[in-house]
């Protein structure tokens, strides 16, 4: 594959990523994809900060910043662990619970926009190519 084609492919992937993030943010209470992942994760299970960081594959310091922003926005809160008063669970606030279904619908809408006019075969082909690219890069890095 010549450099021009490779460069064009990388630019297209970068633009797609930016547009998906922008549309998601516009539709989902101006939250980032990372904030939405956190909200959806804690909506399914009560976890402490360490467990969440492990699930999201990020550092606790990075997670701490995200949690603070979402607490400030009113979507999540820290709940004291009754068994161990030194630790907190991260849970949805009443506001977070009130908008979670709306966020799920909005995220579904974004998914529909992204996949519009794609057949299942198209989708699987794109996913297969993206996974190959990821594997190639991962093998080289490791």
Q: What CATH number did the domain enclosing 82 receive?
A: 1.10.10.10
User: Are 77 and 93 a contacting pair, CB within 8 Å?
Assistant: yes
User: What is the SS3 assignment for 74?
Assistant: coil
For residues 35-49, average pLDDT: 92
Is 6's pLDDT higher than 90? no
User: Domain containing 36: what range?
Assistant: 3-141
Work out how many domains the chain is built from and give that number: 1
How far CA 30 is from CA of 3, 36, 87, in Å, comes to 36, 10, 30
39 band by pLDDT with thresholds 50, 70 and 90:
very high
Eight-state DSSP code of residue 92: E
Phi and psi angles of residue 90, each rounded to the nearest 5 degrees, phi first: -105, 120
1 band by pLDDT with thresholds 50, 70 and 90:
low
């Amino acid at each position: 594959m010549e450099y021009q084609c490779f460069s064009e492919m990388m630019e297209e992937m970068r633009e797609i990523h930016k547009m998906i993030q922008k549309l998601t943010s516009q539709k989902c209470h101006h939250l980032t994809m990372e904030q939405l992942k956190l909200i959806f994760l804690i909506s399914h299970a009560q976890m402490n900060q360490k467990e969440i960081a492990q699930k999201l594959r990020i550092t606790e310091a990075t997670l701490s910043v995200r949690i603070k922003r979402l607490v400030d926005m009113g979507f999540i809160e820290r709940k004291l662990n009754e068994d161990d008063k030194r630790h907190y669970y991260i849970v949805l606030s009443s506001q977070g619970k009130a908008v979670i279904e709306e966020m799920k619908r909005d995220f579904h809408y974004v998914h529909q926009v992204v996949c519009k006019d794609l057949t299942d075969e198209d989708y699987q082909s794109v996913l297969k190519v993206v996974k190959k690219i990821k594997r190639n890069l991962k093998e080289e890095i490791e």
